[in-house]
Structure 1
């Protein structure tokens, strides 16, 4: 019963993740990430996505071929692209090299290249909000980080930290590289959704970030903010209609496997700064005009006194 409740509460009811067999070229060989190499990196990944589209089409994967072609568009800015299997991509919205504030979004379960438009829409909505509300001349790029293989919708991997443990080193390395390309003094905020909050929690102790926001979280695997071992400000929010409120916030062993993610990040015992997310559901945190998006933008911009509390 516990496992069933966690599955129902944590995962998005969308079953479009790609199987592991979709072929694609190996990722492009890229230079070190610096302000001067960004243009070349974007071009190399665009070319790789175009080649992946051709390969997917040749093998009969029409839906993936279409998704890859969209990724290869000349106006897309891909820091990374891997079209193999479910796929991975890291996309930038805005001017990364000259940023004042950078927001990095980490998605939850069932996010792949085939479902990527939903994740991309969230990043675009945040970027538009930041651009509209930031002081004149302030640069606020957003990075959509699909840098790990997310759990499938209904699977045992959605119930444990295993996939997050695998993803954490990649996230740590990306934030390290990001700090190398962003200008000195730029703030970095990590905004994590659903199972993505577990990924962020597993990486948190080694991340040079200013703010960590957990939205729609089933728990992080840590009992308290102190357990995350991060100097960042830690925020948490849950929409009034988010079914994650029904998840049992426990950890227990099933035949030697730890299932569940422990303390509710919204509980006083956890110790996060709890902010308002309005009436939205599990997929509504980045909806344009929403309370949650407004508060997330304030967190990214450092306007913490303006964040409305739950």
Structure 2
């Protein structure tokens, strides 16, 4: 009996080691496939010509009293960028720039060169009691900006409908970094996030000069944008950090973000990110992957319900995730439904 029991235990141990090796090989094969696709697919397409645009306007540091001046200057830049894009026979970009230049739009920053950068404000930023800053994920540029803008509009409407009477809110759509392409090597590493983090820190510091001391500021980060927010988190004066559809943050735990903010995480039941291995691995001399799954108990975030939605559904009107994000921004943490 004892010999048979020992043999069974040794057999089980060998099986476990074998399973572990197969799992490790599978993960490396998966990452190798991603890198191969990321390298081969972009090379099969012609590079898009650089889109001309004026240099960004030299503007004063934003304050509660000069926002209109800044909005007007950036609107003028966007209008000029639209003219230059049209002359360059890029009607799609010309249309996007022209829409951004509309008098009703409030651009805190604008740079029409290349993929383009923009920061748009929804609401009265200087008088807001609660501000949400949205940070987008991959494939976000001025050419796809309407999709990102729609998330900001949706969150602002939800905040307006949820907030108590007299509560003022604002949403800031921060396209302040060059996002990676979904099919590229850059989407598998923290490189773009490391480049973006100082810009996000500078933006949040500048925001403090516009809003009141009592205003709460929340970062709402989607997909690869969660990596950007994680890289900047230790230096941000914010109240809440919400990570949705995150592939990982590049850190193993929420405490490793070194932030005093409440850290939240959610993933929809149909989000494909849930099928991606949440690991970091050194492959061909490159560290790929982002580590611990932010919605796992091991990470230690406050996990909230996101419903059955997919990767692009977190801001869909009427969704569980949008309702919970509004509660987080408003500081109604006790009302947030947990997963």
> What TM-score bracket applies, with the shorter chain setting the length?
over 0.9
2:326 to 286, 297, 304: 297
Structure 1 residue 309 corresponds to structure 2 residue 335:
no
Give the CA RMSD over aligned residues. Answer: 1.3
Map 1:212-223; keep pairs closer than 5 Å: 212-223=241-252
If each structure's helix is expressed as a fraction of its own residues, which one has the higher value?
2
Q: Aligned residue for 1:254?
A: 283
2:102 to 52, 63, 73: 73
How many residues are treated as equivalent by the alignment?
Answer: 301
Write the distance in 2 (CA, Å) between the matches of 1:20 and 1:26. Answer: 18
Task: Give the unaligned 5+ runs of structure 1.
Answer: 9-17
1:280 to 309, 317, 324: 309
SS of equivalent to 2:181: coil
Q: Aligned residue for 1:236?
A: 265
In our comparison, the structure showing a higher alpha carbon Rg is 2
Structure 1 residue 33 corresponds to structure 2 residue 62:
yes
Write the distance in 1 (CA, Å) between the matches of 2:49 and 2:320. Answer: 37
The answer as to whether partners of 1:64 and 1:113 remain within 8 angstroms in 2 is: yes
Write the distance in 2 (CA, Å) between the matches of 1:19 and 1:175. Answer: 32
Q: Aligned residue for 1:169?
A: 198
Write the distance in 1 (CA, Å) between the matches of 2:193 and 2:35. Answer: 16
Structure 1 residue 105 corresponds to structure 2 residue 152:
no
Q: Aligned residue for 1:210?
A: 239
SS of equivalent to 2:194: helix
Give the CA deviation at 1:3: 4.5
Write the distance in 1 (CA, Å) between the matches of 2:333 and 2:240. Answer: 10
Give the CA deviation at 1:180: 1.0
The superposition leaves residues 233-256 of structure 1 with CA deviations (integer Å, 9 ceiling, x where unpaired) of 000000000000001110001222
The superposition leaves residues 204-229 of structure 1 with CA deviations (integer Å, 9 ceiling, x where unpaired) of 00000000000000000000011100
The answer as to whether partners of 1:6 and 1:260 remain within 8 angstroms in 2 is: no
The answer as to whether partners of 2:35 and 2:185 remain within 8 angstroms in 1 is: no
2:300 to 247, 267, 271: 271
The answer as to whether partners of 1:252 and 1:259 remain within 8 angstroms in 2 is: yes
Q: TM-score, normalised by structure 1?
A: 0.95
The answer as to whether partners of 2:35 and 2:184 remain within 8 angstroms in 1 is: no
The answer as to whether partners of 1:100 and 1:185 remain within 8 angstroms in 2 is: yes
Map 1:111-122; keep pairs closer than 5 Å: 111-122=140-151
Write the distance in 2 (CA, Å) between the matches of 1:254 and 1:134. Answer: 48
The answer as to whether partners of 1:192 and 1:213 remain within 8 angstroms in 2 is: yes
The answer as to whether partners of 2:278 and 2:290 remain within 8 angstroms in 1 is: yes
Give the CA deviation at 1:4: 3.9
1:184 to 194, 210, 213: 213
Write the distance in 1 (CA, Å) between the matches of 2:244 and 2:36. Answer: 17
Give the CA deviation at 1:137: 1.0
Write the distance in 2 (CA, Å) between the matches of 1:273 and 1:90. Answer: 28
Structure 1 residue 123 corresponds to structure 2 residue 152:
yes
Give the CA deviation at 1:54: 0.3
The answer as to whether partners of 1:5 and 1:247 remain within 8 angstroms in 2 is: no
Q: TM-score, normalised by structure 2?
A: 0.87
2:166 to 137, 156, 159: 137
The superposition leaves residues 169-207 of structure 1 with CA deviations (integer Å, 9 ceiling, x where unpaired) of 000000000011001110000000000000000000000
